[in-house]
Chains A and B, each alone.
Chain A
Amino acid sequence: MQTPTAEYRKTDFRRPKELFKGLDAGVYALIGMYKRRSTTASKLLVEAERIDDLAPQYKDLSNHQLQQRLFELREKFRRGMRDETDALLHSLAAIREAADRQIGLRPFVVQLMGALALYRGYLAEMATGEGKTLTACLTGVLWAWSRKPCHVITVNDYLVQRDADWLGPVYRFCGVRVGVVTALMPPDERRKGYACDITYATSKEVVADFLRDCLKVMSIRNPTRRLIRSLLARSNVETAGDLVMRGLHSAIVDEADSVLIDEAVTPLIIATLRPNDTLREAVLKAHEISLPFEPSVDYTVNLRYKEVELTSAGREKLERLCAQLPGLWRGPLRRSELIKQALTAREFYHQGKQYVVLDGKVVIVDEFTGRQMPQRTWREGMHQAIEAKEGLPLTDPNETIARISFQRYFRLYRRLAGMTGTASEAAGEFWQIYGLPVVQIPTNKPCIRARYPDRVFGHEEEKWTAVVEEIERLHAIGRPVLVGTRSVIASELLAQRLDARGLPFKVLNAVRHQEEAVVVALAGEKGHITIATNMAGRGTDIKLGAGVAAMGGLHVIATERHESGRVDRQLFGRCARQGDPGSAQAFVSVEDELIRRYLPGPMQRQLAAAVRAGLPGADKLAHVAFAHAQRTAQRIAFKMRKNVLRTDDWLDESLSFATSETGG
């Protein structure tokens, strides 16, 4: 039955506050630091141990009795309680028992801690391999009991399906219906998925569904207004009947750093193609005009901010070339904008790195994951400029109908919690943008990962040679090696080198999740060499093969430092899970992109000279330089994300005479 409340909730979500500014921001940051204080974790631990103490009460119950008990607790949660601690602890104890009986996994005390942290709206930092999936399940049951929509967000469709299937018995035993939403589902199935108490899905799917729903109700997105209208019209079925979701309430985000930070500003766009002749002609002309422009004569290139700047010679040339042109080309601003776009396409977008050409089409390659994104296009004009550069027929630009960034979307949940292996580096951002305080959950067993100091090389070539030698050396003694690369191209280059040495290896590019998960799972077998981009096979455990532990476990080689220290840590976290032995080392060179982009020129030269001359202390200097470059990169990135959010907020407010992206 559709109650008015359910009807209301369909388009109901939190209205996020604007980001604080000035002194307010400072105070807010202080509150965040207080919330992240170390005693939070110890308090959680005390509670988790109390749950552990409750275990005997549930141990001896029959399945039926346990379920009875769970249902009682469920009613409590559904009604909403004033003093919930006691019921909460009992519930977790009961769910733990249920998990033990249904899937044979008994959550550890640290997982209970994690569940409590999630329930209280923290971002739980749990090391990889500590059972985040099961932790999310514990909290998921609690939240799903309220029957308000609860989404569990994972990284890819494979994990969505796997987790839902794996944990399904636990949920069902606790009286919770589980649904999944994956990429290729038709709307009906999606609706079914969302209708369940708890829904597993990827961030892309939920955001896309949200946008599509928004488009369906258009101007009557405001729940109050919609409800009043439907009551007046006495036809509440037609108004929101074909919506897929039932509103946004709670969400648990797995791999929160990747979803909420790394991909946060990528907007999800619903678009239609529409011919735009003006644009097409302008772009073609711009490409034609840009041909005689020469770098550092007519324009300069700024690597750090990825932009080109015309020199005065370039401006004169442009004026000369445009003298005879009509329309758009007459205004000096307009024409320099178009020409810069063409030059940017030339300088910063390279085939094989940012995109590939497939069947006469430009296909974007995600630089981090190395995945091809046939659905994605660059912003208006840029995509066409690249097509013009490649001499391909220009596609029609996408016309946006609806658009929202992940960042903004996840701020709409009333209850948000997250888990990830690496969060503390971005704790400030999690708090400022999402109001998520980070809490560190200790590992179940002490971690015995050996982290060797970085090896620094003066030239990239030397680095790769050293990497191959190291792989060969380890392979000779039979230790499994996992090599992390920054881009698909890098992993392919490494593959060629290994081929040349006749070493057996597997390459993962985060394209086919399911198969890659299997490969990654086997990466811990004796003598295996696995090359993976950063995102490949995330969420899958690497178990050590027989006898590998004795050799020292899995060894991880990072072939470059990432812009964010978090991603480095993710990679290193692949080894030495759950108390296994393991080691990790990074190979870096002073010619790495990180250094080139984020270290000031003079410092770059100094560093390169020091490293190449093999001066004593050069390693330490390089260490400092890399740390500095990473900090700079992250600061720039955070600032950019914050600005995107501010701009979006401003637009939303300023254009509220038009339709806004989140409704209202």
Chain B
Amino acid sequence: MRDGPATFSESWYRVAGQRICLRHSVRVHRQYYRGERWYVLQDPLRNQFFRLRPAAYEFVARLSPNKTVEQVWKECLDRFPDQAPGQEAVIQLLAQLYHANLLQYDLATDAAQLFKRYQKTRQRELKARLLNIMFMRIPLLDPDDFLVRAMPLVRWLISPIGAVLWLVVVGLGLKQAADNFQSLWQQAQGVIAPENLFLLYVALVILKTIHEFGHAFFCRRFGGEVHVMGVLFMIFTPIPYMDATSAWGFRERWKRVLVGIAGILVEVFVAALAAIVWAHTGPGVVHSLAYNMMFIASVSTLVFNLNPLLRFDGYYILSDLLGIPNLSQRAMATLRYFAEKYLYGLKKEENPANTTKEALWLAAYGIASGIYRVIVFGGILLLVADRFLLLGILMAAVCAVAWVAVPTGRLIMYLASSPRLDRHRMRAVVVTAALAAVVIVPLEVVPFPYHFRAPGIVRSAEWTEVRNETAGVFNRILAKPGTRVVDGQPLIELVNEELDLQLAAAKARQAEVQARIRQALQEAVPNLAPLTNLAQAVAMEIRRVENDRSNLVVRARQSGLWVAPGIEQNLGRWVGRGAELGLLIEPVSFHFHAIVRQEDGDRLFASSLKKAQVRLRGSVGTPIDSLSLTIIPADQQNLPSPALGWLGGGPIATALDDRQGIHATEPFFEVRASLQNTAQCPLLHGESGRIRFDLPSEPLLPRWIRSLRQLLQKRYQL
């Protein structure tokens, strides 16, 4: 083994006498990356690029049909003795150029060989397509002709005037958006509602088409050709795409960056127009469409397009800005290099990064994009699986193959048979196995503390509700909540002016009836009987109203602790009849009623609980140990208090059609924990909180597997 390609090669004779050169159609661009000179060869027919270092380029540029390879090599050696490529390097270089179809040579090529190569390429492409099924591309048209013809219409836009126009329009759009921020935000809630999906998609297609044309026109404007337009199935959603890769040949970095960012520029421009339209239209299709366009232009731009961690526009922009082409591959290569060097002890590998700084950039990028990818795709997967089960499973299978099975298989193949590892195989295998063990063994073997939490509510063991018998406006609290009261003690005073009026009216009628009775006694005796009845009725009415009025003062029906959390908020409010105003409790023993999800229930039943702690809202700092637990071994669906349900602001989902808000969507188990009232933390009836159940420690992996299975079971009844 040697480091680097050797100066002399045994196979040299095969190329030494050849007279070859670059194809005439090959274009050469000089570019600078991180201050280093590179030469980019472009095959305009297939729009492929090939980067060369200056030393290699010096050799390639000298190739001509008048000279043999040997002569050229000697010439290079004479001129650049220290940098000229060795024979082996030359052979590799020529082979690569040949593979890239950049060489012109005399010998009629072996058709069979060419065909084999073609088939191999096809196979590779197919494989790549299958593995990248979430972003499958299908090329359809050649838009170049159209672009050239349309250019006069667009040319003036890609100029300083265009930039000013862009700034103005985007500024206006931003202003509109800021002015209407409230409704903008409100409408965002309904974006992924099913009835909006179609509009959303229409907006997506329109925007992305414009976006792609943005790339294409910018690229064309700077002289690059755009020959492929097609459909990209992004997560099975067809949207258009164009191939503006010929921009890679531009010498000036700002042009490359501009082509990369053109799509976003145009998209933001359109979004700004849409914002203006949206702000000036009433609800309707145009309004919604404009809104959706704004939504996509902002969200998709941030999450996908401008984000360099996935391979969209932002990636290429970043790679141009950093001056590191093939950022992603080289990041992977760098990570691999670090792993091989420091973990496996390979010493002879060449660092793919040229400087330490670049290496850091690359490594950081590699790790960040890896993590981000997992998050984004995981999210997409869950989202899709939620809506379309079959598709979700299909995608999950594909992803599992592409991201788990294939890399694992590759890793194993690499460890087992990569010639790079020939001398370090033992160490590589041991290190990898050890790393895997470090990750897996603790998960599988080492028990981790295990607990879960459940929401619940505190109730006194004995309690009566305090309700008002007469409706009225909450006026005064007569007994301070939290104090002991005795039977009959007034607690709350309500005021009801209507009752006063009713009383006044009734008394007036009583006076009237009395007067009429007196009149009848004198004038018409026969009328006396009905009037007496009426008087009785009016008297009863007065009694009733007076009774009601006296009931405006709500009294304790029994002695106990007067509890009314949050009652002060009701001051001045109208309280209907029979409203629950508070409780009278006997603050000796309390129960915490915990609502335990079904997934957690089996663990409650299966393992012996070590202890349970309750933390109440507002006094989280002082946990209360429960004395004993009673698990009610039947699943229920009605919550003990509406405060636990969504309607009451609690954490548990309740059925939408349930006005009371106590019917949970999923059955649950109730666990009663008896609590002791303590001095530091006086318990209050109706306080909500969370209970934490401590279970015996258990390794993580079995736990995760169980959670996954429960998730599947719950969601898909599998």
Contact = CB atoms under 8 A, between A and B. Distances in A.
A399 interface: yes
Interface stretch (A60-68, A139-147, A322-330, A515-523): A322-330
Interface in A340-389: 340, 379-381
A664 B113 contact: yes
A660 interface: yes
Nearest to B82: A330
Contacts of A279: 8
A307 interface: yes
Given A305-B423, A401-B13, A651 B95 contact: yes
Nearest to A331: B82
Interface string B418-439: 0100110000000000000000
A379 B105 CA distance: 28
A658 B82 contact: no
B81 A657 contact: no
A278 B77 contact: yes
Interface residues of A, number: 43
B602 interface: no
B218 to A, nearest CB: 37
B15 A658 contact: yes
Interface in B82-120: 82-83, 86, 91, 94-96, 98-99, 103, 105, 107-110, 112-113, 116-117
A655 B14 contact: yes
A340 B81 contact: no
A88 B113 CA distance: 38
Interface residues of B, number: 41
B1 interface: yes
B2 interface: yes
- Indicate the member of B10, B12, B82, B103 with the most A CB atoms within 10 Å: B82
A330 B81 contact: yes
Contact of B4 (A330, A333, A639): A333
B82 A307 contact: no
Contacts, number: 102
Contacts of B638: none
Best-surrounded residue of B15, B81, B103, B105 (most CB of chain A within 10 A): B81
B15 to A, nearest CB: 5
Interface string A185-225: 00000000000000000000000000000000001001001
A336 interface: yes
Given A657-B103, A657-B107, A15 B10 contact: no
A39 interface: no
Contacts of B12: 380, 400
A499 B20 CA distance: 64
B161 to A, nearest CB: 50
Contacts of B96: 654
B4 A655 contact: no
Interface string B1-29: 11110111111111100101000000000
A657 B20 contact: yes
B110 A222 contact: yes
Given A654-B98, A655-B94, A655-B95, A337 B4 contact: yes
B606 interface: no
Nearest to B99: A654
A618 B422 CA distance: 30
B98 A657 contact: yes
A659 interface: yes
Contact of A400 (B13, B99, B110, B423): B13
B705 interface: no
A653 B94 CA distance: 12
Contact of A659 (B14, B419, B422): B14
B112 A664 contact: yes
Contacts of B8: 279, 379-381
Contact of A337 (B6, B11, B83, B423): B6
Given A327-B81, A330-B81, A657-B98, A651 B91 contact: yes
Q: Which of A401, A643, A653 has the most CB of B within 10 A?
A: A653
B95 A22 contact: no
B346 to A, nearest CB: 13
Given A334-B86, A379-B10, A664 B110 contact: yes
B413 interface: yes
Given A305-B423, A651-B91, A658 B81 contact: no
B107 A380 contact: no
Interface in A461-483: none
9 contacts: A222-B110, A328-B81, A334-B86, A337-B4, A380-B8, A380-B12, A403-B10, A657-B18, A659-B107
User: Considering the complex of A and B, which 3 residue pairs feature the smallest CB-CB distances, nearest first?
Assistant: A654-B95, A330-B82, A327-B81
Interface of B: 1-4, 6-15, 18, 20, 77, 81-83, 86, 91, 94-96, 98-99, 103, 105, 107-110, 112-113, 116-117, 413, 419, 422-423
